[in-house]
Chains A and B, each alone.
Chain A
């Protein structure tokens, strides 16, 4: 998912370019259907559809029904300007999406109706088949649908960030460095000794430490940038980050 304008990757241009992150753009354009806002919403949906799918499945729907409902929901979302309602709350995309889905489900659209509505055009591509196989890997212990949704959301954010981080290194031809030092992202425990990594990468130990430092910095920036896509105000980024942390820490094996 590419930000339509970079948001605070190094904190310099934060305020000015914030308006162009996906969710804030969608909210800003809630009352006119601008194509770039539509595109931003579509991109957000393409990125975060799986937590929704997991939620629907955990509610008890069978795979087929869940797929239909998910597809139908997104079609309705993109076609029907649900966003106008969100404008009032100016909340976060994560909460908005779940609330919208709950409303959709409770309105008792019969499945056929949802299908014909969404069937004409499928504006986003969801790999629902793979969604089901991913769902099969979810922990089977008792986790509420809502909990699964929040947790999956947090994991989606992290996945995206890692992908972008890796790509940034790959673009500069530094993939090997990334692979060598990524274990250090979460701290030194559990990572191989510096001296071993230095040998593997053909760098000095000092250089490895510098690389780790840079990696962590870049990761933090990217994480914030990714979260920023789904909130309306810059102040909310920290809050959202903390919330996602509690979600991830809460899960016990």
Chain B
């Protein structure tokens, strides 16, 4: 069936891997023609000429983008060129960013980009640069964002000679901004000082959430050096990015980058050795541990070092789960409170306690001195001990409360993280995205806590992507969701007393869900058996029902009564 093809020009056999499907011999021959004369250099009409960093420095002609008046260049990032412009409809100044990869290699990549822009455009935060709109012009993607007249973070810190405390305060604000984005399902993926501009009033603004990097990550393998090194420095990349473990990239990836920024600001160096080829650097980031900050400078004390190392933990599980957690530890450190990063040795704890409560510390010192001096200390000791005991009791209750609260926070954070992961996986692995979204929902639901809006949105998105349409039909709240182990079937249980079965393999899963009727009140909980054949639903009507999951027929087999 597979006849070897022949070149129509020379008759030679045409192999299946021939470059561009053309005959290699003829191609090479065509190459032998006279080299071009130094005529017009503009072979192709271009919106703009070269990649960033070309030694020849050609003239850049500003592009024409409808709806905007371009005033001049602002600079060049790794992903594209930025222009200062005015949005004609609102007469407000904007930064117009054009992306280098003007044509996307696949419609999937373009969809993903558009989705990212959509998400980023919804971010409204005083420390995040707004994205106003995006569009396509002559095959080039652009987006218009808030024009931030500021200086990159590292430059600002150097120019203003900020103290360590001031640096930490600044980074706290940045972390909270990043947290805001995470809670709305947007991961930045490219946090670095040049993406954080500080305005004259000392306020930081984070730019370029999630954008541009999305394209690069999918198409190229990060390990191979790319044309023009357009990807920029890997210095701020997390291990999972450096190793291109794309499905592990989530909110904690950003935490790592924040850690690198902090590290650099506090020690003036990078956590990894950046010499050698790009490949060597990436390998180091992906495989090696970071250098301990105190080996570079003693200006970083042991607590701060622990904080940095936790942000830079190689395993995402070991890092701060959220940017907010990092911000909180920064706050605690500045307030001389114990930080989460490492259980402190007793000496450290006493030392910090002393700085926090100078009067009481004085008393403790007095006790110690008196003990050593050995003179009539029993009354002192008794009083202090009693007070300590009372404090310990109060602390214990507080500790339990705090522990429960911390657990709740962790669950919330995990749910948010899973929701962000789900969003992230949406385009590449829609089934996985769906499963992640369900997990995210279940985490809080299982503990009787309300489901988080990001997870709901992620589920809706995932369902829409998997089925091509949102699954509508229930007449009231959906209280529980379960997905069959082979991912072919989704079951939802609702307050409207029905459960619905959605066939995910169907062309249009939304069209004909099978409705499981029988319960008299809302369905609150359900489970699917590991072999995927049975569903159990339990309801406010005090019964549990067993359903057989064959899509063409269903049987209400058993009726069991709950709680006699």
Give A residues with C-beta under 8 Å from B.
Answer: 1-2, 5-6, 8, 10-13, 17, 35, 38-39, 42-43, 46, 121-125, 134, 137, 139, 154-155, 158-159, 161-162, 164, 166-175, 182-183, 185-187, 189-190, 214, 216-221, 223-224, 241-242, 244-245, 248-249, 251-253
| Cα(A241)–Cα(B25), bound, Å | 11
A interface: dominant SS: helix
Tell which of B17, B28, B38, B55 touches A245, judged by Cβ atoms closer than 8 Å: B28
Distance of A46 from chain B, by nearest CB (Å): 7
For residue B45, which residue of chain A has the nearest CB? A172
When C-beta atoms are compared, the residue in chain A nearest to B137 turns out to be: A173
Q: How many interface residues does B have (CB within 8 Å)? A: 61
In the complex, what residues of B have CB within 8 A of residue A223's CB?
28, 31
Within 8 Å of chain A (Cβ to Cβ): is B486? no
> Which A residues are in CB contact (< 8 Å) with B278?
39
Closest chain A residue to B17, Cβ basis: A137
Residues 17-54 of B, flagged 1 when their CB comes within 8 A of A and 0 if not, give 10111111111111111111110010111110001001
Contact between A248 and B31 (Cβ–Cβ < 8 Å)? Answer: no
B224 and A218: CB pair below 8 A? no
Q: In the assembled complex, which residues on chain A have CB atoms less than 8 Å from the CB atom of B17? A: 134, 137, 155
Interface centre among B22, B26, B31, B33 (most CB of A within 10 A): B31
Chain A residue nearest in CB terms to B34: A220
Q: Are A158 and B46 in contact (CB under 8 A)?
A: no
Q: Which of B112-160 contact A (CB under 8 A)?
A: 138-140
CB distance from A48 to the nearest CB of B (A): 14
Shortest B476–chain A CB gap in Å is 49
Contact B32 A245 (CB under 8 A): yes
Cβ of B9 within 8 Å of any chain A Cβ, yes or no, is yes
* Nearest CB of B to A163, in Å: 9
Taking CB as reference atom, which chain B residue is nearest A6?
B56
Find out whether the CB atom of B9 lies under 8 angstroms from the CB atom of A190. yes
Partner of A170, one of B33, B35, B103: B103
Report the minimal beta-carbon distance from A3 to chain B, rounded to whole angstroms. 10
Q: What residues of chain B lie closer than 8 Å to A134, measured between beta carbons? A: 17
Known A43-B225, A123-B280, A216-B33; contact A190-B102, beta-carbon cutoff 8 A: no
Asked if B16 lies at the interface with its beta carbon under 8 angstroms from chain A, I say yes
Given known contacts A137-B15, A218-B44, A252-B12, what 14 new A-B pairs fall within 8 Å (CB)? A6-B56, A8-B35, A10-B36, A11-B36, A35-B275, A38-B277, A122-B283, A154-B24, A158-B27, A168-B44, A171-B103, A175-B103, A186-B27, A248-B24
- Given A10-B41, A158-B19, do A123 and B279 touch, yes or no (CB 8 Å)? yes
Q: List 17 A-B contacts (CB under 8 A).
A: A11-B37, A12-B41, A39-B277, A123-B280, A137-B17, A154-B24, A166-B20, A171-B101, A173-B103, A174-B139, A190-B7, A214-B43, A217-B43, A220-B30, A220-B35, A221-B36, A224-B35
State the Cβ distance, A199 to closest chain B Cβ, in Å: 20
B223 close to chain A: CB less than 8 A: yes
- Minimum CB–CB distance from A156 to chain B (whole Å) comes to 9
Decide: B279 and A124 in contact? CB cutoff 8 A.
yes
* Interface residue? B100 (CB, 8 A): yes
Contacting residues, chain A, for B46 (C-beta < 8 A): 171-172
A118 to chain B, nearest CB (A): 14
Residues of A within 8 A of B140 (CB): 173
Most buried by B among A12, A35, A190: A190
CA A220 – CA B30 in complex, angstroms?
8
Q: In whole angstroms, what is the CA distance A161 to B28 when docked?
A: 11
CA distance A68 to B103 in the complex (A): 39
Give the shortest distance, in Å, between B552 (CB) and chain A (any CB).
42
CA distance A214 to B44 in the complex (A): 8
- B559 interface contact, C-beta 8 A: no
Minimum CB–CB distance from A140 to chain B (whole Å) comes to 13
Question: Is there contact, CB below 8 Å, between A137 and B276?
Answer: no
Q: Are B102 and A219 in contact (CB under 8 A)?
A: no
Among B9, B23, B37, B103, find the residue whose CB has the most chain A CB atoms closer than 10 A.
B103
Contacts from B to A (Cβ < 8 Å): 4, 7-9, 12-13, 15-17, 19-38, 41, 43-47, 51, 54-56, 100-103, 105, 138-140, 223-229, 275-280, 283
| A164: B residues at CB distance < 8 A | 227
Do the beta carbons of B25 and A171 come within 8 Å of each other? no
In the complex, chain A residues whose CB is within 8 Å of the CB of B101 = 170-171
Assess the A241–B44 pair: CB atoms within 8 A.
no
Taking the closest CB of chain A, its distance from the CB of B126, in whole angstroms, is 36
- Given A174-B139, A187-B9: A220 in contact with B31 (beta carbons within 8 A): yes
B47 touches A46 (CB 8 A): no
Task: A249 to B12: give the CA distance in the assembly, Å.
Answer: 9
Cβ contact within 8 Å between A173 and B47: yes
B38 engages A12 (CB within 8 Å): yes
Known: A170-B101, A249-B25. A38 touches B276 (CB 8 A): yes
Q: How far is the CB of A151 from chain B (nearest CB, A)?
A: 9
CA distance A249 to B19 in the complex (A): 15
Whether the pair B19, A42 counts as a contact (CB closer than 8 A) is no
Contacting A171 at CB < 8 Å: which of B32, B100, B229, B276?
B100
Residues in B neighbouring A38, C-beta threshold 8 A: 276-277
Chain A residues with CB below 8 A from B105, complex form: 170
Q: Identify which of B7, B15, B227 contacts A2 (C-beta below 8 A).
A: B227
Query: Which residues from chain A contact B139 at a C-beta distance below 8 Å?
Result: 172-175
Q: Is the CB of B102 within 8 A of A241?
A: no
Task: Verify B20–A219 contact, CB threshold 8 A.
Answer: no
Taking CB atoms, residues of chain A closer than 8 Å to B280 are 121, 123
Known A124-B279, A220-B36: A189·B9 in contact at CB below 8 Å: yes
Q: What's the least CB distance linking B499 to chain A, in Å?
A: 46
- Nearest B residue to A41 via CB reads B277
Q: Is the CB of A11 within 8 A of B30?
A: no
Instruction: Given the known inter-chain contacts A11-B37, A217-B36, please indicate yes or no for A158 contacting B43, CB distance below 8 A.
Output: no
Q: If the complex has contacts A5-B55, A11-B36, A172-B139, are A158 and B277 also in contact, measured as CB distance less than 8 A?
A: no
CB-contact partner of A183 in B4, B15, B22, B44, under 8 A: B22
Q: Are B31 and A2 in contact (CB under 8 A)?
A: no
Q: Which residues of B contact A172 (CB under 8 A)?
A: 44-47, 102, 139
Cβ–Cβ < 8 Å partners of B36 in chain A: 10-11, 217, 220-221
Closest beta carbon of chain A to B305's beta carbon, Å: 28
Q: In the bound complex, how far is the Cα of B44 from the Cα of A170, in angstroms?
A: 11
CA distance A47 to B503 in the complex (A): 47
Least Cβ distance of A93 to chain B in Å?
A: 17
Cα separation A154 to B228 with both chains bound (whole Å): 23
Contact between chains at A46 and B32 (CB < 8 Å) = no
Chain B residues with Cβ below 8 Å from A167 are 227
Give chain A residues whose Cβ lies under 8 Å from the Cβ of B24.
154-155, 158, 248
| Alpha-carbon separation in the docked complex, A195 to B55 (Å) | 40
> Bound complex: CA of A245 vs CA of B24, how far in Å?
9
Task: Decide: B9 and A42 in contact? CB cutoff 8 A.
Answer: no
Please, how many angstroms separate the alpha-carbon atoms of A186 and B283 in the complex?
A: 42
What's the least CB distance linking B222 to chain A, in Å? 10
**Chain B residues, Cβ within 8 Å of A190:** 7-9
The contact of B224 among A5, A125, A162, by CB within 8 Å, is A125
Contacts of B47 in A (CB 8 A): 172-173
